[in-house]
A and B are shown apart, each in its own frame.
Chain A
Amino acid sequence: MATSGFDEVLAAAQGGAQWAVAVLWNELHPRLLRFLRGLDPSAAEDVEAETWLSAARELGTFHGDDRQFRAWMFTIARNRLIDWRRREARGRSVAVSSEVLRERPAPDDPAGLALDVVRADAAVALVRSRLPRDQAEVILLRVLGGLEVGEVAAIVGKRPGNVRVLQHRGLRRLAERIAEGASERQGVMR
Chain B
Amino acid sequence: MTAGNGFPSGMDRFAVDAGTAEGLVSGAVDVGDAPPEYRAVAAVLQALREPPESSELVGGPAVAERIAATVVTARTERAATRPRRFATRTRVAVASLVTLGLALSGSLATAGALPEPAQRVASAVLSKVGISVPSGDDEAVVHRYMPTTAVPKWTTVAPVQSNPAAVNPSAPPPVARDEDVTLPAGPAQERGRTAPARESSQPTPPAGGDGPSPPGTPPGKGNGNAYGTTKAGGSGNGNGNGNGNGTGNGNAYGKTQASGSASPDLALDASRAPATGSP
| A contact set with B: CB distance below 8 Å | 13-19, 21-22, 25-26, 29-30, 33-34, 52-53, 55-60, 115, 118-120, 122-124, 126-127, 139-140, 142-144, 164, 167-168, 171-172, 174-176, 178-179, 182
Contact = CB atoms under 8 A, between A and B. Distances in A.
B25 A171 contact: yes
A168 B68 contact: no
B33 to A, nearest CB: 15
B contact patch SS: helix
Contact of A174 (B41, B47, B52, B61): B41
B74 A59 contact: yes
B123 to A, nearest CB: 54
Size bracket, chain B contacts = 35 or more
B95 interface: no
B64 A56 contact: no
B165 to A, nearest CB: 79
B67 A120 contact: no
B48 A144 contact: yes
Interface stretch (B13-21, B131-139, B156-164, B252-260): B13-21
A142 to B, nearest CB: 5
Residue among B14, B18, B51, B78 with most chain A CB within 10 A: B14
Given A171-B16, A176-B14, A119 B25 contact: no
Contact of B74 (A58, A115, A119): A58
B60 A25 contact: yes
A35 to B, nearest CB: 9
Contact of A115 (B44, B49, B61, B69): B44
A116 to B, nearest CB: 8
A171 B56 contact: no
A118 B68 contact: no
B40 A175 contact: yes
Contacts, number: 127
B125 to A, nearest CB: 49
Nearest to A13: B71
B11 to A, nearest CB: 15
B61 A29 contact: no
Contact of A14 (B61, B69, B71): B71
Contact of B63 (A52, A119, A143): A52
Contacts of B74: 56-60
6 contacts: A18-B64, A18-B68, A118-B44, A126-B44, A168-B18, A168-B21
B68 A16 contact: yes
Contacts of A176: 14
A101 B19 CA distance: 36
B50 A142 contact: no
A54 to B, nearest CB: 9
A91 to B, nearest CB: 27
A16 B21 CA distance: 41
